[in-house]
Chains A and B, each alone.
Chain A
Amino acid sequence: MLLSRIAESLYWMSRYLERVDSTARLVEINLLHLLEAESAIGEAAEWRPLLAICGKEALYTGTFGSAEITGPRVIQFLMGERSNPGSVRNSMRLARENARAVRDRISREMWECVNELWLRYQELLARPPIPERAVAHCRTLRSEVARFHGHTSSTMMRGEAFGFYLLGMFLERADMTARIMDVKYHLLLPDLALVGSPLDYYQWAALLRSLSGYEAFRRRFPSLRPLDVADFVVLDGDFPRSLRFAVDRMAQALARVGSARADSPSARAVSELSELLAKSDGSALFEAGLHEFLQRFLAGISDLHGALQREYFEAHLGDAACTT
């Protein structure tokens, strides 16, 4: 038996931590990439894609008005901005609040990790960023989140609660990977006719690095072809940040959680995502249009979140509510 409130807090705790990790990774890789770039495309063009990936262009405009898009502003907005609910700082805070609510359900090590993360970095992130230091900060934040997952893996019972921890993490990860692909691909490959040709090596490497997938990709594919990158990031079942990997893990997590209903809406939502992936291979993705595919995938992720909400977190409101 698991209280809905506890399940929901576990789910959000790991979603927010995943968001800390992926946002820090985006900022870090963009900074590194800009250091290496040989020709400048203009500051606004360099940083706007990050806002697009996080779905925060409108909010950014609301915060900074018509002021130009600059690196320091975007970093500030994504890392420390109080008015941005998805900022790293707010995600850390919300992860901690959810962890506190389930403190008696998680190990001491897990709690201490989340607690320290907030206590150590909240002030730093509230200050205007120093771009030269931001890379180091992002790296530290990511390793703190990794430490949390390490403790979780070695201290948490593999029960229903663990299932919700996994669901939160992989749902957020799949969502972010799909967004990164959608935005970057569009930018890097303006003309689909170029799909099979080698393109800017550094740009593509940066995309893979923002998913921690560069080295693994190089082992698997001889050259950086867009087709292969899409195949790897979307469909490779061994790559931990691929869409298929996340969907497989969510299916396993749901099996662990179980369902009170014969026709579980959450299980249905996950199998729809699986089918979407099964129907695709690298070249099929391009024939139907990668953008359309990713939009369908993101809609499926959103459906899954809604289904979890209805089926588990608000189970008492449902029709199958009374099991006595």
Chain B
Amino acid sequence: MATALAAPPSFGAAAYHEFYRDDFEPRAHYRPLWEHIRKAGQALLSDKVREAHLTLHTEGVTFTVYANSDEGIERVWPFDLLPRIITASEWAPIEAGLAQRVRALNRFLEDVYGEQRILRDGVVPAELVYGGRDYRREIRGIRPPLGIYIHISGIDVVRGADGGYLVLEDNLRTPSGVSYMIENRIVERRTLPEFFARYRVRRVEHYPALLLQALRELSPRGGQDAVVVLLTPGVYNSAYFEHTFLAHEMGIELAEGRDLVVQNDVVYLKTTHGLQRVDVLYRRIDDDYLDPLCFRPDSTLGVAGIINAWRAGNVAIVNAPGTGIADDKAVYPYVPDIIRYYLGEAPVLRNVPTWRMTVSDERERVLGDLENVVVKAVSESGGYGILIGPQSTAAQRAEFAAQVRANPRNYIAQPVIPLSRHLCYLDGELESRHIDLRPFVIQGREIHVVPGGLTRVALTKGSLVVNSSQGGGSKDTWVLSDAALADR
């Protein structure tokens, strides 16, 4: 996986533009949209923007930014009017590649918590797995219902300078954003009904129905009477809006740890009519906090004894405990090999080239060139614990270099990927901004890749950081069912 360091990228010019061709003509699949915008004029667009924001505000589509105060700050979801359009032919390899990736990573988890063939065969170094903060040795030997570990994933996909799609991160723990994908669609359809008439856009709002079906399939007592519960850390969590949204959409109970109790290895809800047995737990809290008897003893968010109930086969936990080792950023460089190992197939989607800090010559070359690379802590997410070389100060680089040397297992480095750009309608002007894509994959008896996803936008000019917690925005994402609108 050793890759030569790329020349310092100049963003903007090097980045692929989703909307314009190199000759500044709109790409074929954006032309109907473009013509409509030209005819509509700026006044109409601005009206539409106001309408969309009002809708989001009154519907209370918000997210919480962690601040120093106890309560956090609630912000209205930032939404850009212009949709991101993906043609049917562009989508096909994304869909195939994501399904392949989820299938292979699920096999990887079955293996590292089972026979550990891949470690014995030396395809993935054993010490890398054992040394991972999110490898849970406590659960080795437990087989989850249907053998599924990864029920829900939100895998981040970016478009490199050549327009090719790359997987940037596998999010296999409790990825969020799916409620915003759906809200974006609802707002977009209400705001731009005339655009929808011109395109045949594949639907995404059935996600909660797909998810509920996948969750019910896991019930140890059969799907018909399954009691499915969403476990939330509570109102102060940044994704609490999403937790309430999904619980409402699926018609399931939204519970906190203190609403649940385990007796004789069975999980119960405390209701006004006594204890009610729980079959499937869709948890939105991390492994660390899930069971104070098994993981962090100081956790007040989880449920004591729940891992034993899971081990006894009395409850399904979604995603299964222990999935964090498969999206560990230090394991990420090995995913193409993992796909080849278990499936005997070539990976459909490429990885971003990644330097392993545990390999000394890769590490030394990165540390000598920090200004031109991105360094990431392996177990952080949400845009935290990251150094973007070209935008960093000498002091930040020195701090990261010291941390990398002190704990190489904890870091990886990648070239700066000039994320593709898209048109945004910001303060009455059309501007180009960098974007990424988080499609959502549900694995039940079958794998469903929801056609679309959350397109995140770095709203600050030139910025490559798209996380909503760091001032990112979003776009509705249209996957076209019509093959007629060819790209390029």
Q: Do the two chains belong together in a single complex?
A: yes
Residues of A within 8 A of B (CB): 1-5, 7, 100-101, 103-104, 108, 160, 164, 257-260, 312-313, 315-316, 318, 320-324
| A315 engages B235 (CB within 8 Å) | no
Q: Which of A100, A101, A318 contacts B274 (CB 8 A)?
A: A318
Q: Which of B247, B261, B263, B269 has the most CB of A within 10 A?
A: B269
| A160 engages B247 (CB within 8 Å) | no
What is the CA–CA distance of A132 and B256 in the complex, to the nearest angstrom?
A: 46
CB distance from A12 to the nearest CB of B (A): 14
| A258 engages B270 (CB within 8 Å) | no
Indicate whether B238 reaches chain A with its CB closer than 8 angstroms.
no
Q: Please give, as numbers and ranges, the residues of chain B lying within 8 Å of A164 by CB-CB distance.
A: 272
What is the CA–CA distance of A1 and B228 in the complex, to the nearest angstrom?
A: 12
Q: Sorted from nearest, which 10 A-B pairs have the closest CB atoms?
A: A260-B273, A316-B270, A312-B272, A104-B244, A324-B277, A4-B270, A323-B274, A7-B272, A321-B274, A2-B272
| B60 engages A100 (CB within 8 Å) | no
Q: Which residues in chain B, 262-319, are within 8 Å of chain A measured between CB atoms? A: 263, 266, 268-277
CB distance from B257 to the nearest CB of A (A): 11
Q: Please give, as numbers and ranges, the residues of chain B lying within 8 Å of A100 by CB-CB distance.
A: 235
| Interface of A, helix, strand, loop or mixed by DSSP | helix
Q: Which of A160, A164, A323 has the most CB of B within 10 A?
A: A323
Interface residues as binary, B90-117 with A (CB distance below 8 Å gives 1, 0 otherwise): 0000000000000000000000000000
What is the CA–CA distance of A250 and B160 in the complex, to the nearest angstrom?
A: 65
Given contacts A3-B259, A4-B259, contact A104 B271 (CB under 8 A): no
Q: Which of A1, A101, A103 contacts B271 (CB 8 A)?
A: A1
| B253 engages A1 (CB within 8 Å) | yes
Sample (29) of A-B pairs whose CB atoms are under 8 Å apart: A1-B271, A1-B276, A2-B272, A2-B273, A3-B253, A3-B259, A3-B271, A4-B259, A4-B270, A5-B258, A5-B259, A100-B235, A104-B247, A164-B272, A257-B272, A260-B274, A312-B272, A313-B272, A315-B270, A315-B271, A315-B273, A315-B274, A316-B261, A320-B274, A322-B268, A323-B273, A323-B274, A323-B276, A324-B277
Q: Please give, as numbers and ranges, the residues of chain B lying within 8 Å of A321 by CB-CB distance.
A: 274-275
What is the CA–CA distance of A4 and B253 in the complex, to the nearest angstrom?
A: 12
| Interface of B, helix, strand, loop or mixed by DSSP | strand
CB distance from A269 to the nearest CB of B (A): 16
Q: Please give, as numbers and ranges, the residues of chain A lying within 8 Å of B254 by CB-CB distance.
A: 104
| A258 engages B258 (CB within 8 Å) | no
Interface residues on B, range: 20 to 34
Q: Which of A3, A101, A324 contacts B270 (CB 8 A)?
A: A3
What is the CA–CA distance of A100 and B277 in the complex, to the nearest angstrom?
A: 26
CB distance from A166 to the nearest CB of B (A): 14
| A2 engages B271 (CB within 8 Å) | yes
Q: Please give, as numbers and ranges, the residues of chain B lying within 8 Å of A313 by CB-CB distance.
A: 272
| B270 engages A322 (CB within 8 Å) | no
CB distance from B255 to the nearest CB of A (A): 6
| A323 engages B258 (CB within 8 Å) | no
CB distance from B240 to the nearest CB of A (A): 9
What is the CA–CA distance of A96 and B138 in the complex, to the nearest angstrom?
A: 41
